[in-house]
Structure 1
Amino acid sequence: MAPTVARLPHLFLSVLAVVTLAAAAVFAGAGGASAAPVPAFYQPPADVPATPGSILRSEPSPLAFSIPAGGGAFPATGTRIMYASTDVTGAPIAVTGTYFEPAIAWAKPGPRPIISMAVGTHGQGDQCAPSRLFNSVIQYGGGLDVMVQYEIAAIYAAVAQGIPVVVTDYQGLGTPSVHGYLNRVGQANAVLDAARAAIDLKSLPDNTPVGMWGYSQGGGAVAGAAELQAQYAPELNVRGTYAGAPPVDPLKTLALAEGGILTGAVGYALNGVYADYPEARPELDRVLNNAGKSLLRETANQCVPETLARYAFQRTSVWTSSGRPLGEVATASPVLKRIFDQQRIGTLTPEAPILIVASNSDDVVPWSSSREVAREWCGRGATVQFTTFPLPQILPGTAASHGIPEFFGIPTALGWMIDRFTQVPQSRCVIA
């Protein structure tokens, strides 16, 4: 498959991690990022409306890669938004994001659609929020606190077809609450409510065709949204979902990532569990040693490159009181096992078609888990296309084999999504 964009997002992060690991000696005296004051836009109102998807506020968001054109910008005009969503308990919360209005018109058959996009792992610090990065692409806060907005290629590929895109920041990224990393319900709600918010913002017809798109963490978020849509947002006219390398089973993902470049991201997940599930707090306090508790404190304010630089290639056993890997510890704990099982995607069935793409050599998200969920959904009558992205092992443990398909898969995913918007017939179940 020929490349159409001149960069490899996750591979870039892998290279960046090696560079920052080498630079760590220089910055050895520099502490991790600390929580900065929350900008006024990101401060939620005292009372968040109970209507999910309603716009709470918006403002222009000048995009780094755009030029003024005809009263707007090319290739898109950005609007920063805050909208109402719900957390894992069903309580109203405020979530931020960005809406991209294309400079060109939708020229395909049928009404103009929108895509609700969920990003891959950015980190847990508020400075990592996608909506903050679209204005500069690179965020630097001193020391190892750096972040690159690597989702621009997919967004601009869509707006180049005249498709508006709305990108959620997820719960707790940008806003003061804790980001529930890999939380199935919280992430899914944020994606579905972003679509509602885009419709509200632009006063679009209620039956506007909606697509959902995400890779890695984003793939899990949209896969969760696909199976929760019928009960959470049944009014949305979802035509299809593209879920690339979705971490559908957090415990299996943790086991595969053990000792790899993204091991430190377990801190994001545990911080989310600690915040969202009060019953887990005594258990986490018991099973984590001082180093593990330090991991949680430090990663809470980090973007992913700093987490890579500080925690890459470590074993999770160094963070547990028992000296056993965290996956084993969580499986042995009834409280933690129940919570992690609740994050497993595949317990419900998507009503709209879904495309899952996964690399057979993925060293972060298990290919077998993605394929298993595709088979389960097919068996329950869903319309599913599962495509294996063939790759040899490339620098095992560095996430290269995980990240490369995100970049190279954009043309295929976008073509598939446009077919769903234009209602091209699709085979009900294709596993390849």
Structure 2
Amino acid sequence: MHYSYILSTALCFASFALSHTLPARNSPALPPSQDPWYTAPDDLLSYPAGSIIRVRPDPLSTYAAIGTNLTSASYNILYRTTDGNDLPSFAVTTLFVPVSKSTSSKKSQGLVSYQIPYNSPTVDASPSWTLSTELNSTFSDIAALLEQGWYVSVTDFEGPNATFAVGVAEGHAVLDGLRAVTESSSSPACESSKAWKIGLWGYSGGSIASEFAAELRATYAPEIEIAGVAIGGLPTPVAAVLKAVNESPYAGLIVSGLWGYANAFPVVESYLLSRLTDEAKVSGNFTAGRNMTIIQIFATYPNVDVYSYFIGGEDDIFASPLLQHFWDTQGTMGVHGLPDMPMYVYKAIEDLLAPVQDTDTLVEKYCAEGQAAAARKEGGAQILYERNTIGGHVAEEINEDEAAVEFLSNAINGKLGAGWPGSGGCVVRNVTVGTDTAPDW
């Protein structure tokens, strides 16, 4: 990329720095719970959804760890969004500026919002803080996107309260992150005539945020045009995952998920605490998980019967009308609108964490709704759904990475074609992709 273009980009963000309280680069790096930068302004209500509150160079300089041959800078952008209660909140995204020239049109620039499955009920697990430590295994995905010449936005989509798996809030955070990034290109220092070609990518917990963003786009952020969405390992409905992983190596996902909903909805917190057994109250085994990253959670709760912490066992979680309301409205894909952009969906048939039949059902629903919409000449679903015969949930995160990037490349560069996939509509097929054959347990 020409130096003049890099300078233009730097000036673009510098201009926002002047009006969005940009701290000095040598400001100390602190976890979000201790960093005053991660706070809402007193006048948060005056900020429209998606507007930038403040910007700073990433104090961890994560771009350097990913590779200065790929990215020239990383910025933290704090912006206004809307939580699961439809109340004003904020979120952060870490934006990586590419070094190489974009493969897109000279009049457009590629941007991918990449959602990492950080799956934790503590704000100190947010990617803007842990990306260079616990989440550095995702560097290869970010690098693959940067190699295309795209900007990459890595969102802290769980927000300041770490509302893990609360799909509506996460979808809002993704869409508002896109608003914030594209707003940052509208100053005189930027190429304001340059259009953005936008893609979304997320696996597992990251697919919750990405998929809900796709569903909510038309009603929440209709001005944001999305060229394509790649989502894998979909954990829907959330209740199905909570049933599937108990007493497995990934039982901690139940602890993380329950606390995510408790963080979002105080009534859920009150209910869960009221149903704890005396032993669980004394030991603190359940409550301890609220302040853990997902790596700590997996280390603490392997093969645990999480429902033994509750007086009524599983019934306290799955027979509760209160919790069922939230599972239905916040944790189930397919109920907030029909995605109106091309989608690449991928799933391991032997996925034990998030059973494949639930993704099958979701895709069938989308395809049926899409056919009805097409008959009314209102557009329709464009979905390629690949069911992988190799590996389980964990293996699939790597096995179809290359296919996801290829799809995003074609979508962003306008190479999918009007009839994609096939003759249009939906294509569902079994594939054998990748080399990781490991089962989940």
TM-score (norm 1): 0.80
In structure 2, which of residues 348, 353, 373 is the aligned counterpart of residue 359 of structure 1?
Answer: 348
The corresponding residue for 1:404 is 395
Once residues 36 and 351 of structure 1 are traced to their aligned partners in structure 2, the CA distance between those partners, rounded to angstroms, is: 35
Q: Secondary structure at the match of 2:140?
A: helix
Once residues 76 and 270 of structure 1 are traced to their aligned partners in structure 2, the CA distance between those partners, rounded to angstroms, is: 39
Q: Secondary structure at the match of 1:300?
A: helix
Once residues 137 and 280 of structure 2 are traced to their aligned partners in structure 1, the CA distance between those partners, rounded to angstroms, is: 29
The answer (yes or no) to whether the contact 1:349–1:377 under 8 Å persists in 2 is: yes
What does 1:25-424 align with in structure 2 at a 5 Å threshold?
A: 37-48=33-44, 49-61=46-58, 62-63=61-62, 64-66=64-66, 74-109=70-105, 111-134=108-131, 137-138=132-133, 147-172=134-159, 175=160, 178-203=161-186, 207-290=195-278, 294-322=284-312, 324-325=313-314, 328-342=315-329, 343-347=331-335, 348-381=337-370, 382-392=381-391, 401-423=392-414, 424=416
The answer (yes or no) to whether the contact 2:70–2:146 under 8 Å persists in 1 is: no
Superposed CA offset, 1:308-356 (max 9, x none): 111111112311112x33xx43221111111111120011211111111
Once residues 309 and 246 of structure 2 are traced to their aligned partners in structure 1, the CA distance between those partners, rounded to angstroms, is: 12
Q: Secondary structure at the match of 1:42?
A: coil
Letter of the aligned partner of 2:51 in structure 1? S
Deviation at 1:43, TM superposition (A): 2.4
The answer (yes or no) to whether the contact 2:242–2:253 under 8 Å persists in 1 is: no
Once residues 74 and 53 of structure 2 are traced to their aligned partners in structure 1, the CA distance between those partners, rounded to angstroms, is: 17
The answer (yes or no) to whether the contact 1:124–1:301 under 8 Å persists in 2 is: yes
The answer (yes or no) to whether the contact 1:114–1:165 under 8 Å persists in 2 is: yes
Cα gap change, 1:94 to 1:387, in 2 (>3 Å): same
Deviation at 1:265, TM superposition (A): 2.2
Cα gap change, 1:36 to 1:88, in 2 (>3 Å): closer
Once residues 308 and 71 of structure 2 are traced to their aligned partners in structure 1, the CA distance between those partners, rounded to angstroms, is: 48
The corresponding residue for 1:142 is none
Letter of the aligned partner of 2:74 in structure 1? G
Letter of the aligned partner of 2:390 in structure 1? L
The answer (yes or no) to whether the contact 1:76–1:159 under 8 Å persists in 2 is: no
The answer (yes or no) to whether the contact 2:126–2:156 under 8 Å persists in 1 is: yes
The corresponding residue for 2:6 is none
Q: Secondary structure at the match of 2:75?
A: strand
Once residues 390 and 263 of structure 1 are traced to their aligned partners in structure 2, the CA distance between those partners, rounded to angstroms, is: 24
Once residues 67 and 111 of structure 2 are traced to their aligned partners in structure 1, the CA distance between those partners, rounded to angstroms, is: 22
Aligned-pair identity (%) = 23
Cα gap change, 1:391 to 1:332, in 2 (>3 Å): same
> Any stretches of 5+ residues in structure 1 without a counterpart?
1-34, 139-146, 393-400
Q: Secondary structure at the match of 1:246?
A: coil
Q: Secondary structure at the match of 2:303?
A: coil
Letter of the aligned partner of 1:200 in structure 2? E
The corresponding residue for 2:22 is none
Superposed CA offset, 1:104-147 (max 9, x none): 1112447222111111134233332111134xx22xxxxxxxx3
Deviation at 1:422, TM superposition (A): 2.4
Q: Secondary structure at the match of 1:312?
A: coil
Cα gap change, 1:257 to 1:201, in 2 (>3 Å): same
Once residues 36 and 199 of structure 1 are traced to their aligned partners in structure 2, the CA distance between those partners, rounded to angstroms, is: 24
The corresponding residue for 1:27 is none
TM-score (norm 2): 0.79
Once residues 74 and 417 of structure 1 are traced to their aligned partners in structure 2, the CA distance between those partners, rounded to angstroms, is: 18
Return the index of the structure with the highest Cα Rg.
Answer: 2
Instruction: Flag as ranges the 4+ runs of structure 1 deviating above 4 A.
Output: 204-207, 290-293
Deviation at 1:158, TM superposition (A): 0.5
Letter of the aligned partner of 1:331 in structure 2? F
Deviation at 1:391, TM superposition (A): 1.7
Q: Which has the higher contact order (CA 8 A, sep 6+)?
A: 1
Cα gap change, 1:117 to 1:74, in 2 (>3 Å): closer
Deviation at 1:212, TM superposition (A): 0.9
Letter of the aligned partner of 1:390 in structure 2? T
Letter of the aligned partner of 1:182 in structure 2? A
The corresponding residue for 1:24 is none
Superposed CA offset, 1:183-239 (max 9, x none): 010110111111111101232558522111100100111111111110011000111
Once residues 208 and 271 of structure 2 are traced to their aligned partners in structure 1, the CA distance between those partners, rounded to angstroms, is: 26
Deviation at 1:373, TM superposition (A): 0.5
Aligned pair count? 369
Once residues 348 and 158 of structure 2 are traced to their aligned partners in structure 1, the CA distance between those partners, rounded to angstroms, is: 28
Cα gap change, 1:189 to 1:106, in 2 (>3 Å): same
Once residues 245 and 265 of structure 2 are traced to their aligned partners in structure 1, the CA distance between those partners, rounded to angstroms, is: 24
Cα gap change, 1:411 to 1:247, in 2 (>3 Å): same
